[in-house]
Amino acid sequence: MASTDASRFEQRPVLVFWELTRACPLACAHCRASAIRERLPGELSTAQGNTLLESLRDFGPPYPTLILTGGDPLSHPDLWAIIARARALGLHVAVSPAVSPRLSRAVLDRFRALGVASISLSLDGAQASTHETLRQSPGHFAQTLEAIDLAQDAGLRVQVNSTVTGASAAEWPELFQLLRDRGVPVWEVFFLIRTGRGAGLSELTPSEAEDVCHFLYDASQYGMVIRAVEAPFLRRVLRARQAGAPPPPSPLYRSLRSRLEGSAGPAARPSSLAPVGTLDGDGILFIGHDGTIHPGGLAPEALGRFPERRPAEVYRSSPTLRSIRRREFHGACGRCAHRAYCGGSRARALAATGDILGTDPACLRAASAEA
């Protein structure tokens, strides 16, 4: 079904992710790229990388924001030249580095000097044990808090990314307060997709995912910008709550809300959640280290490869992406009245069913309809 809400990204995405390398000093348990310490053969050459940057102007203004990711972008020897070239082409650039000894104050200052718009750092729990179980690096919790403080002190806009799993959801009020106390302006919550090294980790159940979404609605009323990745059903929860629907009476939600209000007090601001947003392939495009083009970083369906195919041509003409933007889904997601502004996680549908147009099994409404 075509829709104004669903098709506003028909001609260009708002975000293009470029996985510069899969090399990374960490070996995180949930890494979608299964990153290793050494660079893999087949990475785009410097000349190809420059041509890729130039090709992003094919989308026309306003150009998508370029997010340099990995692996760890700091593992790529041409990172600084890539940032400088992208900025010279008029592209907004954000960087998602790993927290490691390489991420020094001097590096952060250089990001700032080159005009990097924002930096995203990952913190996956309110306790060191929770975060370090995922990051598999002793002492990494304290190192990450220090990196957040250093980045903000350097004048960078900091976004903190957190992966929510079945094991970490209970800590979310304390993690929110930890970020709030540090003045973090943006919190992006990733709902786990079981892909890469994360294939064996525990996802939230549909009921737990619904509870966390209601908690995020509550937390979004304290002045912090909150976004969810691979949980577009949060937009359904937002609309329901704004229409006066009650939150769930479940023990998990009651505990999350009680602890949130116990530390932050009563909510006093409008929700910062966006009522509409992107999906993999609808406002988002991902380019792998070897030039393979995907709908998103967590949706590894190959759509073509650069330089044989240019990103704008793939984005606009791919039958898969056009079906996503037209909400031509299968199963419960295809029948859902909320599909225009939700659409379910395409990455989770792909991981769970092998069909990127299938049903997102984490959505409570979809799970109930399929039962």
With a cut of 50, say whether residue 5 has pLDDT above it: no
147, amino acid identity: A
Classify residue 199 by its DSSP letter.
G
Contact 232, 343 (CB under 8 A): yes
- Alpha carbon distance 309, 303 (integer Å): 9
With a cut of 80, say whether residue 33 has pLDDT above it: no
Residues 6+ apart with CB under 8 A from 340: 1, 3, 5, 6, 327
Q: Is 26 helix (H, G, I), strand (E, B) or coil?
A: coil
Cis ω before 344 (30° cut-off from 0): no
CB atoms under 10 Å from CB of 232, counted, come to 26
Residues 6+ apart with CB under 8 A from 310: 55, 58
- Alpha carbon distance 150, 106 (integer Å): 10
Section 335-348 average pLDDT: 96
Residues 6+ apart with CB under 8 A from 178: 123, 126
With a cut of 80, say whether residue 241 has pLDDT above it: yes
pLDDT category, 122, cuts 50, 70, 90?
very high
Residues 6+ apart with CB under 8 A from 66: 16, 18, 53, 56, 86, 91, 92, 93, 94
Exposure string for 95-117, b = 16+ CB within 10 A, e = fewer: bbbbbbeebeeebbeebeeeebb
- Report CA-CA distances (Å) from 257 to 167, 244, 252: 18, 17, 9
With a cut of 60, say whether residue 307 has pLDDT above it: yes
- Alpha carbon distance 302, 287 (integer Å): 10
Both tokens assigned to 168: 């970490």
Q: Is 62 helix (H, G, I), strand (E, B) or coil?
A: coil
Cα 330 versus chain centre, distance: 24
pLDDT at 31: 74
Q: How many CA atoms lie within 13 A of 189 on its CB side?
A: 30
Both tokens assigned to 360: 């997102």
As a three-state string, the secondary structure of 216-265 is: HHHHHHHCCEEEEECCCCHHHHHHHHHCCCCCCCCHHHHHHHHHHHHHHC
pLDDT at 288: 97
Chain mean pLDDT for the chain: 93
- CA-based R_g, the chain, Å: 20
Reported residue count of the chain is 371
- Alpha carbon distance 125, 334 (integer Å): 34
pLDDT category, 29, cuts 50, 70, 90?
confident
Contact 19, 35 (CB under 8 A): no
Section 306-328 average pLDDT: 97
Contact 224, 185 (CB under 8 A): yes
Section 223-232 average pLDDT: 97
With a cut of 90, say whether residue 200 has pLDDT above it: no
With a cut of 70, say whether residue 35 has pLDDT above it: no
Domain range list for the chain: 15-279
pLDDT at 263: 95
Both tokens assigned to 106: 């001097």
pLDDT at 4: 38
Tell me which H or E stretch contains 161.
strand 158-164
What is the architecture, at CATH level 2, of domain 15-279? Answer: Alpha-Beta Barrel (3.20)
With a cut of 50, say whether residue 77 has pLDDT above it: yes
Least confident residue range of 37-51, 193-207, 270-284: 193-207
pLDDT at 6: 45
- Alpha carbon distance 147, 44 (integer Å): 29
Contact 143, 128 (CB under 8 A): no
With a cut of 90, say whether residue 1 has pLDDT above it: no
